[in-house]
Structures are given as structure tokens and as C-alpha cells.
Structure 1
Amino acid sequence: MILPPILTSIVEWLRAGYPDGVPEQDYVPLFALLSRRLSEEEVDQVAGRLVDDGDLPIDKTDIAVLITKITNEMPSDRDIDRVHRHLGTGNWDRTDHDL
């Protein structure tokens, strides 16, 4: 699957923050953070690429379940802070790109 340039840059940013792959405890807070700036379809595309490339060791069905879980249960501030620390200063801002 070919991603639009903005989504490709997000995947690269996530890989830089999680060079060993995304740990399970960060799935929900990570997708919650992405959902603040991306549509559900865009989050699904980013997650799909991470799954396909082995950076996210779950299957695509589980991704759909996680996205649903996000709408019902937001992660704690502690979880969000942990993900922010992993992603560091490689800040991505959707407003810099046309979608």
C-alpha cells in the first residue's frame, strides 16, 4: 500500500521514536494521540503500514478493535506522557501539510 507523503512522514517519525517497535502498553495511547490529528481512516493506514512492516506486532483486526477501544476509553495522562517521551522532539504537525 502506498501512503500519502504526510502519512509516510508520520510512519517514519513513529519508527524514530520506537526503533524496536511499539510496545503493547503504548498501543492505545499512541492511537489516541494520532486520532487527535488524523481521521480514523488515516490512523488505520498508518497502523496498517506499521503492522505490514513488523513495527507493530499485532494484526489488522486487532487494530480495528483498538481504534474502537479508544473511542470508549481514553488513555491516562501517564500513558500519553510516556508516548510523548518516546516520540521526543521529532514533532509532527499536520497543519504543515496538505491533506
Structure 2
Amino acid sequence: PLPAEVPSLGLGDRLAAVVARFSVEHRQSHRMVKSLLATKFSVQLSRGSINRLRHQVSEAVAAPVEQAQQYVQGQGFVHSDETSFSQGNGDGLLYMFQG
């Protein structure tokens, strides 16, 4: 068996971070992420592998996100901002909070 620190997908943290950035910050679909990886980095991944990387990153940041949520909810007052944006055929919302 491989050591625990070796990713089970055989893909590194940096590639997972690139997939997450394309997916979240740039709001790209699985198909577009696949195309960008092939074009920019000569990396061939299936859409299933891209989906698994997205879930892997989501799980990796779950605890810090939970801590941030608890911190904000524990503040006496919170400044907030809501920004809408177009995403595909729908609308998305981005929320910012500062305690």
C-alpha cells in the first residue's frame, strides 16, 4: 500500500488547485476545465477525474469554511455584501461577511 499522503487519484495537489480555480473562480464547466487542462498544460483528464478533484478540494476546505462560518455567526454585528453575477443560463450570488 502507498503512504497516506499519496493522493488516491494519483494526481497532485497543484493540479487539484488548478481544477478548483478554473471551476470556482472562473466558473468553468467540467468540459471546459478538461479542454483548458489539455490546451494549457497538455494534461488529459476525464470529466469523472475532474469531478473527483472538485470533490477532493471541497472536502479539503470544508473545515476552514465551517470555522469561518462559526466565527461570523459568533460576532456581535456583521458587515455584509451580496453581489450577483451571470452563470450560464442562471444567476449566481457571492456573499462577503466581515465581523
Relative to the length of structure 2, the TM-score reads: 0.36
Higher RCO structure, 1 or 2 (CA under 8 Å, sep 6+): 1
Report which of the two structures shows the higher radius of gyration computed on alpha carbons. 2
Structure number with the higher helix fraction is 1
Structure number with the higher strand fraction is 2
